[in-house]
Chains A and B, each alone.
Chain A
Amino acid sequence: MALASTLTERAFAERRQKSWDELDSLSRKSTQHGLRALAADEVSDLPSLYRDVCADLAAAQAARYSAPLVDYLRGLTATAHGILYGPHAARDRDGSVAVRRTWLVAFPRAVRKRWRAMLLATGLFFIPLAIGLVLTLRDPSFAFRVAPEAMLRPLADAYARGFDEGRDAGEGTMMAGFYVYNNVGIALRCFALGIFGGLGSAFYLVQNGLTIGAILGYVATQGAGANIGTFIIGHGSLELGAIVLSGGAGLSLGWSIVAPGEQTRLASLQSTARDILVIVAGAAVMLVMAAGIEAFWSASSTPRPIKLTVGGSLFFLVVAYVLVAGREGPAAAPAEAQR
C-alpha cells in the first residue's frame, strides 16, 4: 500500500510529458506512414522512449495515479509495443529470394509433406468423377440429376460447334474474370470448410468431381467428346490439380483438429494452418494461371494436335513440379549435415 512515488501526479506528468509526446508523435508517424518513414535517429530513439514509458506506466500504477493517466500510458505502451514487436523481420528479407524460395521449395515441399491428405483428396475428387462419367455414358439422363438440364444442353451444343470461330478478346476477358471469380472462390471455400473436421472439403471435392464427370459424359454422349477433351487438356492439369490441392489442404486442416497428436487441438490447428497456407496460395495462383489459359487458349482456334501436345506437356510439368521441385540434391545433403 505504500506510495512508491514521491511526486504528485501533476509534477510527474509535467516532468515526463515531453518524452510521452515524442513517443506519441513517433508512434503516429509510423502507424500512418510505416516504419520506413522514420528518420534514422528517430528509429534509434524509439526503443529507449518505449522503455521509459514502460517504466512510467509501472511507476504510475504503483503510485496509484488516477485512472486516466494510467490509461493514457497504457495506450502509449500498447501502440509502441505493437510497432517495436511487429512482424518486421520477415518483411525486410530480400523479396525476390523469398518469392523464389516459396514457389520452388516451400510449396512443393508442403504438398509432399501432406501426401496422405493429397492422395485422399485425389481419390475423393477423381473417383466420383469416374463414377459420374461412367454412369452418364451408360445413361445420359443421369447427368440431369447432377447438373440442370438447362445448363447441359447449350453446353453440349457449344462444344459440338468446335473452336473454329475461336473467341474474341472481349469474351476471353469476360471468361477469365468469371473463371477467377468462380474457380478460385470454390478452391478457397473448399479449403476453409475443411475446418469442420475436413467434411466441407470432402463434400466440395466429391460434388465437383461428380459434376465434372457428368458434364464430360453428357457432352461425350452428344458427340462432342473429342472437343471437350481438347478443351480441358489445356488447363485441366492446373485447374483440377489446384482443386485437389486446396481440398487436400482443407482435409489436413480438419484432420489437425480430429487428431492433434501431442498438442492441444487449438495449437495443432494453428500450426497446421500456418504450414498449409502456402498450399492454398499455390492453388490460387495455379487457378489464376488456369483461368488465363482456359479463357484465351483452350477455346482458341489452335489446331487440336498442338493443343494436345501443349496440354500434355503442361500436365507432366505440373506433376513433376509437385513431386520433384525443392528436393535436396544428393550433393547438397552432406554439406547441410556438416553444419
Chain B
Amino acid sequence: MAAPLDTDVAIETPEHIVFHYRLAGPARRALAYVVDLVVCYGVVLVIALVVVLAFMGDRTTKDLGTAAKAGSGVVLLALFAAQWIYFVVLEARTGRSVGKRVMGVRVVTTTGRPIGWRSAALRNLLRAADALPTGYLVGFASMAITSRFQRVGDLVAGTMVVVPESARVATPIELSPPAKPKELATLPEDVALDADEREAIELFLRRRLTLGRAREHELASMIAGPIGERLGFVHPDPARLLAIVYDRAVNVGRGEAPPSSYRARTARKPKDEQPWR
C-alpha cells in the first residue's frame, strides 16, 4: 500500500485492525449542504403554499382569518424545524442528512464510530457559529486549519465527515491467456518487485482494458524496459511482459497458483492446512 494521503484518517479498532477513512472535503460538504437547503426550504415552501391556497379557497367564510393565522404559525414551526431540528434528528439516527446521503458522505466520531444524539445536537447547534459572518466563512477557515477538515461544530462535538468505501469486490488480476512455456523460458524463478513497482503494475493491469491499444503499449514500455532488463526477461509485448512478471511475483509459492507462476523446484511445500476455513 502507498503511504496514506493526508486526507485519510487511520482508525484502529479494538481488534487492532487499522482501516482508513477518506475525509470529505469542503466542496463535497458544501454541495451536500446545498442539497439539504433545497430539501428543507422546499418542504417549508410546500407547507406555505398549502396554507396560502387553503386561505384563498376559504375567502368567503367568516372564519378565514383564524385558519390563515393558524397556518402561518405552522409555517413558522416548520421553519424552526428546518433550521434547528432536521440535521440533528437525521444525523443522530442515520449519520447522514439527505444531502450527505446524496453526496455519499457520513458523519462519524473522530474515533470512527457512529455519532449519537449529543454529538449530532452539538455539531448542528454550532452551525450558528460556523455560518458567521456569512456563507460559512468561520466553518471554512476552521476546516482549512484542522487536520480532519473539521468545522467548529465538528471540533466541539468530536466528529468528522468521511466518504465511506463502497463495498464491492473487484476480481483479482489473472494472467489470461495462461503463459506458454516458451514465453517463460527466460523468466527467473524468483521475481522480486518492490512495493512501488508492484502497485504501479497492478494499477496498469487494472486500467489496461480501458486504454487504447497504442496507449497501453506506450505506458507499458515505460516500465517494462527497466524491469525486463533487471530480471533478464524478454518478451515482445511490454504489456504481456508486465502481466507475466506480476503473476509470478504475486503468486509464486502460493497454493492453487496457476502453473505459469509455480516454481519448478519447490522450496516450500504448500500447506495442506487451510488457514481460512
**Which residue numbers of A lie inside 8 Å of B, CB to CB?**
3, 5-13, 15-17, 19-20, 24, 27, 31, 51, 54-59, 61, 64-72, 74-79, 81-83, 85-87, 90-91, 168-171, 173-178, 180-181, 184-185, 188-189, 191-193, 195-196, 200, 253, 266, 269-270, 273-274, 277, 280-281
The verdict on B215 contacting chain A, using a C-beta distance below 8 Å, is no
Beta-carbon contact of A273 and B157 below 8 Å: yes
Contacts of B95 in A (CB 8 A): 82
CA distance A13 to B256 in the complex (A): 12
Identify which of residues 91-139 in chain B touch chain A, using a CB-to-CB cut-off of 8 Å. Answer: 94-95, 108, 112-116, 118, 121-122, 125-129, 132
Q: A72-B167, A181-B80 are in contact. Are A6 and B129 (CB under 8 A)?
A: no
The verdict on B60 contacting chain A, using a C-beta distance below 8 Å, is no
The verdict on B27 contacting chain A, using a C-beta distance below 8 Å, is no
Q: A274-B118, A274-B122 are in contact. Are A78 and B172 (CB under 8 A)?
A: no
CA distance A280 to B126 in the complex (A): 12
Minimum distance in angstroms from B200 CB to a CB of chain A: 11
CA distance A19 to B92 in the complex (A): 30
Beta-carbon contact of B169 and A11 below 8 Å: no
Q: Mark interface residues in B149-180 (1 if CB within 8 Å of A CB, else 0).
A: 00010011110000011111110111000000
Minimum distance in angstroms from A314 CB to a CB of chain B: 23
The interface centre, meaning the residue of A10, A59, A185, A281 with most chain B CB atoms within 10 A of its CB, is A10
Beta-carbon contact of A191 and B172 below 8 Å: no
The interface centre, meaning the residue of B108, B198, B250 with most chain A CB atoms within 10 A of its CB, is B250
16 contacts between A and B (CB under 8 A): A5-B254, A9-B172, A19-B277, A51-B15, A67-B199, A69-B170, A72-B167, A72-B169, A82-B95, A173-B69, A189-B128, A192-B127, A192-B129, A193-B132, A266-B155, A270-B158
Beta-carbon contact of A8 and B251 below 8 Å: yes
Contact of A193 among B80, B128, B158 (CB under 8 A): B128
Residues of B in contact with A, size category = 35 or more
**CB-CB nearest in chain A for B257:** A8
CA distance A200 to B129 in the complex (A): 9
Minimum distance in angstroms from A27 CB to a CB of chain B: 8
CA distance A175 to B75 in the complex (A): 11
Contact of B112 among A9, A27, A78, A277 (CB under 8 A): A78
CA distance A100 to B254 in the complex (A): 62
Contacts of B11 in A (CB 8 A): 78, 81
CA distance A90 to B116 in the complex (A): 9
Q: A11-B256, A78-B19, A193-B128 are in contact. Are A177 and B198 (CB under 8 A)?
A: no
Beta-carbon contact of A177 and B74 below 8 Å: yes
Contacts of A51 in B (CB 8 A): 15
Contacts of B203 in A (CB 8 A): 67
The verdict on B30 contacting chain A, using a C-beta distance below 8 Å, is no
Beta-carbon contact of A82 and B108 below 8 Å: yes
Beta-carbon contact of A10 and B270 below 8 Å: no
Contacts of A72 in B (CB 8 A): 165, 167-170
Beta-carbon contact of B128 and A188 below 8 Å: yes
The verdict on B274 contacting chain A, using a C-beta distance below 8 Å, is yes
**CB-CB nearest in chain B for A24:** B167
**Which residue numbers of B lie inside 8 Å of A, CB to CB?**
1, 11, 13-15, 17, 19-21, 65-70, 72-77, 79-80, 83-84, 94-95, 108, 112-116, 118, 121-122, 125-129, 132, 152, 155-158, 164-170, 172-174, 195, 198-199, 202-203, 206, 250-251, 253-258, 270-271, 274-277
CA distance A61 to B20 in the complex (A): 13
Beta-carbon contact of B167 and A75 below 8 Å: yes
**CB-CB nearest in chain A for B273:** A6
Beta-carbon contact of A168 and B66 below 8 Å: yes
Contacts of A9 in B (CB 8 A): 172-173, 250
Minimum distance in angstroms from A228 CB to a CB of chain B: 22
CA distance A178 to B145 in the complex (A): 38
Contacts of A67 in B (CB 8 A): 1, 199, 202-203
Contact of B118 among A86, A192, A277 (CB under 8 A): A277
Beta-carbon contact of A66 and B170 below 8 Å: yes
Contacts of B128 in A (CB 8 A): 188-189, 192-193
Beta-carbon contact of B69 and A171 below 8 Å: yes
**CB-CB nearest in chain B for A200:** B129
**CB-CB nearest in chain B for A179:** B76
CA distance A6 to B262 in the complex (A): 12
CA distance A173 to B84 in the complex (A): 20
Beta-carbon contact of A184 and B80 below 8 Å: yes
CA distance A19 to B276 in the complex (A): 11
Contacts of B1 in A (CB 8 A): 61, 67, 70
CA distance A90 to B119 in the complex (A): 13
Q: Identify the 8 closest CB pairs spanning chains A and B, nearest first.
A: A177-B73, A170-B66, A68-B170, A75-B165, A177-B76, A170-B69, A87-B116, A192-B128
CA distance A11 to B174 in the complex (A): 12
Contact of A82 among B113, B173, B275 (CB under 8 A): B113
Beta-carbon contact of A178 and B73 below 8 Å: yes
CA distance A270 to B156 in the complex (A): 5
**CB-CB nearest in chain B for A17:** B169
Beta-carbon contact of A177 and B19 below 8 Å: no
Contacts of A83 in B (CB 8 A): 114
CA distance A193 to B21 in the complex (A): 31
Contacts of A10 in B (CB 8 A): 172, 174, 256
